[in-house]
Amino acid sequence: NAGVTQTPKFRVLKTGQSMTLLCAQDMNHEYMYWYRQDPGMGLRLIHYSVGEGTTAKGEVPDGYNVSRLKKQNFLLGLESAAPSQTSVYFCASSYPGTGNQPQHFGDGTRLSIL
């Protein structure tokens, strides 16, 4: 029972490098989300998607891009990594609903930018 799977689990980048974080879910969820978690700041929404082929900005979208080409996958890209993007990144998914559906989270990607 995989649920939400994030790859990679850890990564160290140098400033200016690019990378893509992959999120895959096997629950046939319509909605998917990317968050970052920083000490003392809780979870902040980066981008989200309400269906295949759709994406929307969250509260901290700058420096990130996303794509949802397949329903089960949601990719988060960093085109030119900056030290301020050092964080733990979480992907989540849920069924559609008027805010009453819980989100299911992956175990996170720990990203360090040197």
Q: Which residue has the tokens 């998914």?
A: 93
Residue 74 to residues 78, 99, 103: CA-CA distances in angstroms?
14, 20, 15
Among residues 46, 75, 76, 108, the one that binds another protein under rule CB under 8 A? 108
Q: Does the footprint of another protein cover residue 5 (CB under 8 A)?
A: no
Identify residues 44-103 at the interface with another protein (CB under 8 A): 45, 48, 50, 56, 58, 90, 92, 96-103
Q: Which two tokens stand for residue 27?
A: 């629950």
Smallest distance from another protein to CB 20, Å: 19
Read off the tokens for 48: 């989200």
Q: Which of 43, 65, 72, 86 binds another protein (CB under 8 A)?
A: 43
Interface residue with another protein, options 1, 28, 42, 62 (CB under 8 A): 42
Least distance in Å: CB of 107 to another protein?
5
Q: What is the total count of residues that contact another protein (CB under 8 A)? A: 27
Residue closer to another protein by CB (options 13, 48) is 48
